[in-house]
Chain A
Amino acid sequence: MNDKKKILVVDDEESIHLLYKEELEEEGYSVQSAMNGEEALDLFEKIEPSLVILDINMPGMDGIEVLRKMKEQRPDIPVILSSAYPEYKQDLASWASDDYIVKSFNLDELKKSVKRHIK
């Protein structure tokens, strides 16, 4: 039986998926990927992850819209917003998230946040 905690990573950049997958699997998590909002909501319902890492700037449905839909469905599942743009912090819609991390190739801050919030 696989009892690893599942993390859903939502991002439209392939390189981010590769980086997060490698680093988070090393920490003992199981990582699933979605490339856009629609796919993310579908997977979110199917796999009921222990935590979501969500990009904001994506084609189609943006991360904020995905966040609001996820939180409406399952407010108990923590969602960490991860964006290259710190200015989106000023967007109050991001408050629905449990944390906001500015993207960096050093994943220490992200890993700490995952540890703090994962259920």
Chain B
Amino acid sequence: MPELRRDPIIGRWVIIAKERGKRPSDFIIEEEKTKGGFCPLCAGNEHTTPPEVLAYGRSNYAPDTPGWTLRVVPNKFPALVIEGELDKQGEGIYDKMNGIGAHEVIIETPRHNETLVQMSHDQLIQVFWAYRDRMIDLAKDMRFRYIMIFKNFGRAAGASLEHSHSQLIALPIVPQRIEEEIKGSRRYFDYKERCVYCDIIRQERSQNLRIVCENSQFIVICPYAPRAPFEMWLMPKNHQSSYLSMDNAQFHSLTDIFSEAMRRLNKALPRVPYNYMLHTAPIRSQQMEHYHWHIEIMPKLTMIAGFEWGTGFYINPTPPEESAKFLREIDLEA
């Protein structure tokens, strides 16, 4: 019988279609052909992007030239624009403001075909440093209240360019999804005086049913009520509400665990399209006792259609216990 499961943070329900129990080999992942041709993100084509706002690896100071190992540039055709005032207004019962924001692209490698799972530790850690460095810089702008970092990989997940990149959007509002997490975890904290994420980690470690991998500082689980097969959450084991609170040792530890989780996923479902989103406390907020930063990794294996849009429910054909077991038992050396 299918099972309805409730997410303990935001209260979202999902349907786990247990009897279907899809294994990785049951999913058909369309092979994407590399299109080739000119790539605006490749080293040597810096002139086709807007001027960079951050670059690592160059020995000389010559912006927008080759020699970089990671580069961050504003989006050439941004969804929101950086110049201007918010000009918040009401229109009867409706609210509006100017589309102010920052939209940047983190070019994770100068090499066109290098994916996250192929990156060395030294290359991958730069990606996480870049997230931090850009967040710190943009947080100085008092118009912004939230910085969302996300990655789309593969056409089905919204990326048509193969060159590995992630994106950052600084927003003048806290997105509803983050508000829901903060409010949900606040409710839990008010009732139990504990962080719900810390409690999830504690329970998952004692049950050991949905853990994918862990190290001294981080844990990766398939959540109890996942929206998608093989959905993973990566969380710091010790309570921390902001990504910006991480120390240097944690960055190394994060790089290791993230790389391991992504290699496991890639081995189970080679080149599966996915999205990941970094959820952290809003900028300039004090340390929150009830909130816990994390990365949500969502492989794109199912369709979002009328039922999901209409109800907010998700149908997931793979129980997280099976997803986690499969990912955990992958032999990365084989």
Contacts and interface: CB of A to CB of B under 8 A. Distances in A.
Interface of A: 64-65, 67-72, 75, 89-96, 100
Query: Which range holds the interface residue count of chain B?
Result: 10 to 19
B36 interface: yes
A33 B18 CA distance: 55
Contact of A94 (B37, B49, B77, B79): B77
A36 B286 CA distance: 56
Contacts of B159: 92
A95 B40 contact: yes
A91 B165 CA distance: 12
B39 A91 contact: no
Given A92-B105, A92-B160, A92-B165, A68 B35 contact: yes
With most chain A CB atoms within 10 A of its CB, the pick from B39, B79, B158 is B39
Contacts of A93: 40, 160-161
Contacts, number: 48
Contacts of B35: 65, 68
Given A92-B159, A93-B161, A71 B79 contact: no
Interface in B25-43: 35-41
A64 B40 contact: no
A94 B38 CA distance: 11
B48 interface: yes
A95 B37 contact: no
B105 A71 contact: no
A102 to B, nearest CB: 10
Interface string B126-149: 000000000000000000000000
